[in-house]
Amino acid sequence: MKKPLILVTNDDGITAPGIRVLMDIANEIGNVIVVAPDSPQSGMGHAITVDNTLHINKISNESNGIAQYTTSGTPADCVKMAKNEIIKEKIDLCVSGINHGGNSSINVLYSGTMSAAIEAGIEGIPAIGFSLADFSWKADFEPIKPFIKKIIAEVIRNGLPEGVVLNVNFPKLQQNEIKGIRICRQAKAKYAEKFDKRQSPFGKEYYWLAGEFECLDKGEDTDVWALQNGYISVVPVQFDLTAHHAIQQLNTWNL
């Protein structure tokens, strides 16, 4: 059987330890091409580069022999460039991550990791975003490797429903502490924003965004609940944002 062609990308940039781990796992399963941002892109959401030029660099293969490209673009740009400029063959799967930091709940909207997966989904490529709830560059990915392998294998075996990609989040736990994998819905949450106001050396005020995550959801079927209770969360994510349930109500308006 022909090995699947797997596109690996992320939003922390090509130098992040998380993408090296994902690259190695993907390489055990299929033929891998990496197309990742040349610098960190956290919080980029679904940004694309429309008012600026884009660059692609092929970087020299390392000992693992995997073809690696960097682009000056966002995660969504990377997928667009991979699909339309770099890779001529059919891409069988796109995996994004492993993100240094969680992307559960409302974070899916801000996440560059997930925007890459969603962009692949729009292009009709089955796609998964992986994130570990540990911001450290020295995060330990060892405990989650077998789970990533299993999830990728199941996606290859079953495919994904049309218009759906997966948002996979791992708790920061040892392998024997992880209770299993749960299919979840996105928890209702928001940030209680705080802006940290400072002064530049020249006396000018500036701010840092410093919000605190606030879960507004008591459900036990959410990604936040799963992670807090020792499970890996898998949320099927769609990019049809229509609130279908609201259409009927709006049709009663005087418009």
**Binder among 2, 88, 138, 244 for a second copy (CB under 8 A):** 244
Residues in 116-145 that interact with a second copy by CB under 8 A: 118, 122-124
Instruction: From 19-27, 80-88, 89-97, 126-134, give the range in contact with a second copy by CB under 8 A.
Output: 80-88
Binding of a second copy at residue 115 (CB under 8 A)? yes
Say if residues 232 and 178 touch (Cβ distance below 8 Å): yes
Determine the Cα–Cα distance for residues 252 and 98; give it in Å rounded to an integer: 46
Compute the CA torsion angle 77, 81, 84, 88 (nearest 10 deg).
-140
81 is a contact residue toward a second copy (CB under 8 A):
yes
Nearest-approach distance from CB 64 to a second copy, in angstroms: 26
Residues 182-221 that bind a second copy (CB under 8 A): 183-186, 188, 190-191, 193-195, 197-198, 204-209, 211
12 is in an annotated binding site: yes
For residue 229, give both structure tokens.
């209770």
User: What CA–CA distance (Å, rounded) separates 181 from 192?
Assistant: 29
Site residues (CB under 8 A) for a second copy, limited to 7-66: 40, 42-51, 53-56
Say if strands 67-71 and 31-37 run parallel, antiparallel, or are unpaired: parallel
Enclosing H/E stretch for 7: strand 5-9
Query: CB 107 → a second copy: shortest distance, Å?
Result: 10
Regarding 251 and contact with a second copy (CB under 8 A), the answer is: yes
- The single residue among 150, 179, 229, 230 that binds a second copy, judged by CB under 8 A, is 150
Per CB under 8 A, the list member of 31, 140, 143, 239 interacting with a second copy is 239
List of residues 6+ apart from 209 with CB closer than 8 A: 193, 195, 196
CB of 48 to a second copy, least distance (A): 5
Residue 234 touches a second copy, criterion: CB under 8 A: yes
Size of the site for a second copy (CB under 8 A): 80
Which structure tokens are listed for 215? 């879960």
| Cβ within 8 Å of residue 152, ≥6 positions away | 25, 26, 29, 93, 95, 128
Q: Shortest gap between Cβ of 245 and a second copy (angstroms)? A: 8
Q: Judging by beta carbons within 10 Å of its beta carbon (0-12, 13-18, 19+), is residue 140 exposed, middle or buried? A: middle
